[in-house]
A and B are shown apart, each in its own frame.
Chain A
Amino acid sequence: MGKRWTNRIALGVLWMCGLTTVVVLGAVIVYVFIRGIGQITPEFIFTAPHGVNAEGGIGPTIVATIYVTGLAMLIVTPIAVLAAVYLAEYAVQGRLVNTIRFAADTLASVPSIVMGLFGFALFYEVMGLGFSVLSGALALSFLMLPIVMRATEEAIRAVPRFIRWGSYGLGASKWQTVSKIVLPSAMPRILTGLILAMGRAVGETAVVIFTMGQAIYTPISPLDPGRSMTVHLYTLAMEGINMDAAYGTALLLMVMILIFNVSARWLAARNRRLKG
């Protein structure tokens, strides 16, 4: 019964693979949760760190993270969506499209440290924006562009053809079709893509540390500096002075990203249900 035994063992190993993945995720989450949950008080969320041991809260970092992510999404979404519209609706297979796709893929694989250095060279040095939310947002938007482009393009392609035909059949122009029929129909999927991109942006460190800086400051104007939660976590972990706060920051960070992920999944599932 050689092949049956091999089968059993092999399947067992594969089961272990699947379980290992879940267990590892569980371990990371549980560990951060246990060590960090004690830190989560309204004071932690809303006040600023103060004192020699960085006691107090991480309020400014939360603001900085949300601010820079929001601004980045604002910058990137119109460009990415319209670019995807081009690729999905207007483009003809050919050199240009190939180049665009290659560029998008490359952009998606650029190591974030390179993006950070580039952002430093361009936004901080050359454009003189200094350490600011704006520098960070611009750098992040480079990173987000391919993600949103791809998600939007897939969303648009998923819209069934017959809907377009109906529209054209009624005499609508291309743009009318796209703007009034296709895009609204693709919207839930596009939103899912946006939310996932935001989750990615929130988790970035190397990019923001060289563009938004490290000052603990609640940014108000886009030209103010700030410290994102990821940078704060890195600093706390490296300084080692207040590990409790580090765990608290890590927990909040993961909760934020979890919320993004779960919302995206929920939206996608809801969309699937509605569309049948």
Chain B
Amino acid sequence: MATLVLALTLTGCSAGGERREVIVTGSTTLLPISEVSGEMYTESHDGISILVSGMGSSAGIESVTKGSSDIGTSSRELKDAELELGLEDTPVAYDAIAVIVHPDNPVRELSTFEVRSIFAGVITNWSEVGGPDLPIGLVNRDEASGTREAFSKIIMDDARFDRGAVVLPGTGQVRSVIADVEGAIGYISLGFVTDDVKAVAIDGVEPSEATVVSGDYPVQRVLHFFTKDDLSDIARDYIEYVLSPDVQDTIVRDAGFIPITAKEAIGG
């Protein structure tokens, strides 16, 4: 009883005063960018803190719409229903989604159609795509994942994922399972691909920064910061910072993404 009264009083107390923080929520894919840049911004700007958390692109969009965060990060486009929300879109990086398999898997390339059939559960054995006689182990991401959303849109089109696929809520998990299980296949952001796994070529195109920038690699997407009109000055400043070469050439690249400025540099 007394505790509740106390809690309510505290809530009231914090309502006044200038906002010296920027709340950033959303995609786990964007976490390397938002967390590191947020940290650096906080260090160089006294008294301001950037609070970052990652619960999924959808959560980020919902939260910025509701006003509980200043910036909603997303690794997917807005859905039709979300287009009416009046959100401002600031692209911050490009990302390619790599389809990965076990390093010992002889299959080096797949067509879009084959990938779709595999993930829909229609093709269930590697022998059907030129590989060994080995059942395919499907690894999917959870539905909150922007990576899944993007993959679904680009590769799956309208086809549904196989219901029996293992669902893992994290990039690293997908990668470590695929590194461990010979017949496994999954998809992660290109930036997270390490030597433990192998990225296959899609429709003959290997994923790399060059092929993303040139547009040849089909499975690519834009990483977004979504905001509303009533954005605070501090938040705007932070976003400017994220778009600056300081962040784009270092943090974004370190995280394995492609700077948003790269395509402009080529004039494409």
Q: Is there a direct interface between A and B, measured as CB atoms under 8 Å apart in the complex? A: yes
Interface residues of A (CB under 8 A from B): 48, 50-52, 75, 127-131, 134, 138, 141, 213-217, 221-223, 225, 227, 235, 237-241, 243
> Which residue of B has the minimal Cβ distance to A135?
B7
- By a CB distance below 8 angstroms, the chain A residues around B174 are 240
> Which residue of A has the minimal Cβ distance to B24?
A215
Residue pair A127, B39 in contact (C-beta under 8 Å): no
Residue pair B173, A50 in contact (C-beta under 8 Å): no
State A193–B201 Cα separation when bound (angstroms). Answer: 60
State A127–B5 Cα separation when bound (angstroms). Answer: 11
State A241–B194 Cα separation when bound (angstroms). Answer: 11
- By a CB distance below 8 angstroms, the chain B residues around A52 are 32, 36, 251, 254-255
**Distance in Å: Cβ of B103 to nearest Cβ of chain A:** 17
Residue pair A240, B10 in contact (C-beta under 8 Å): no
B14 at the interface (CB under 8 A from A): yes
- By a CB distance below 8 angstroms, the chain B residues around A223 are 10-11, 14
- By a CB distance below 8 angstroms, the chain A residues around B175 are 240
Tell me which residues from 50 to 74 in chain B have a Cβ below 8 Å from any Cβ of chain A.
51-55, 68
State A134–B23 Cα separation when bound (angstroms). Answer: 18
State A200–B168 Cα separation when bound (angstroms). Answer: 27
- By a CB distance below 8 angstroms, the chain B residues around A141 are 3
B28 at the interface (CB under 8 A from A): yes
- By a CB distance below 8 angstroms, the chain A residues around B8 are 127
B203 at the interface (CB under 8 A from A): no
Residue pair B51, A240 in contact (C-beta under 8 Å): no
Residue pair B10, A130 in contact (C-beta under 8 Å): no
Interface residues on B, range: 20 to 34
**Distance in Å: Cβ of A155 to nearest Cβ of chain B:** 23
Residue pair B172, A215 in contact (C-beta under 8 Å): no
Residue pair B53, A213 in contact (C-beta under 8 Å): yes
Residue pair B11, A128 in contact (C-beta under 8 Å): yes
Q: A127-B7, A223-B10, A240-B175 are in contact. List 9 more A-B contacts (CB 8 A).
A: A131-B53, A141-B3, A216-B35, A217-B51, A225-B51, A238-B169, A240-B170, A240-B176, A243-B172
Residue pair B36, A238 in contact (C-beta under 8 Å): no
State A134–B4 Cα separation when bound (angstroms). Answer: 10
Report which of B35, B171, B251, B254 forms a contact with A240, defined as CB distance below 8 A.
B171
A and B contact pairs by CB, cutoff 8 A, 29 listed: A48-B39, A52-B36, A75-B3, A127-B7, A129-B7, A129-B11, A131-B53, A134-B7, A134-B10, A138-B7, A214-B53, A214-B55, A215-B52, A221-B10, A222-B10, A223-B14, A225-B53, A227-B53, A238-B170, A238-B173, A239-B28, A239-B170, A239-B172, A239-B173, A240-B174, A240-B175, A241-B171, A241-B192, A243-B172
- By a CB distance below 8 angstroms, the chain B residues around A134 are 7, 10
- By a CB distance below 8 angstroms, the chain A residues around B7 are 127, 129, 134, 138
Interface residues of B (CB under 8 A from A): 3, 7-8, 10-11, 14, 23, 28, 31-32, 35-36, 39, 49, 51-55, 68, 168-176, 192, 251, 254-255
When A214-B53, A223-B14 are in contact, do A241 and B172 touch as well, CB less than 8 Å? yes
- By a CB distance below 8 angstroms, the chain A residues around B23 are 215
State A43–B31 Cα separation when bound (angstroms). Answer: 22
> Which residue of B has the minimal Cβ distance to A141?
B3
Residue pair B254, A239 in contact (C-beta under 8 Å): no
**Distance in Å: Cβ of A138 to nearest Cβ of chain B:** 7
State A138–B5 Cα separation when bound (angstroms). Answer: 13
When A128-B11, A213-B53, A216-B52 are in contact, do A238 and B168 touch as well, CB less than 8 Å? yes
**Distance in Å: Cβ of B186 to nearest Cβ of chain A:** 12
State A216–B34 Cα separation when bound (angstroms). Answer: 12
Residue pair B52, A240 in contact (C-beta under 8 Å): no
State A75–B1 Cα separation when bound (angstroms). Answer: 10
State A128–B8 Cα separation when bound (angstroms). Answer: 9
> Which residue of B has the minimal Cβ distance to A53?
B32
When A52-B255, A130-B68 are in contact, do A239 and B51 touch as well, CB less than 8 Å? no
> Which residue of A has the minimal Cβ distance to B168?
A238
Residue pair B172, A238 in contact (C-beta under 8 Å): yes
Report which of A127, A214, A225, A240 forms a contact with B11, defined as CB distance below 8 A.
A127
**Distance in Å: Cβ of A73 to nearest Cβ of chain B:** 12
State A215–B8 Cα separation when bound (angstroms). Answer: 23
- By a CB distance below 8 angstroms, the chain B residues around A138 are 3, 7
State A214–B27 Cα separation when bound (angstroms). Answer: 13
**Distance in Å: Cβ of B195 to nearest Cβ of chain A:** 15
**Distance in Å: Cβ of B135 to nearest Cβ of chain A:** 24
**Distance in Å: Cβ of B222 to nearest Cβ of chain A:** 20
- By a CB distance below 8 angstroms, the chain A residues around B251 are 52
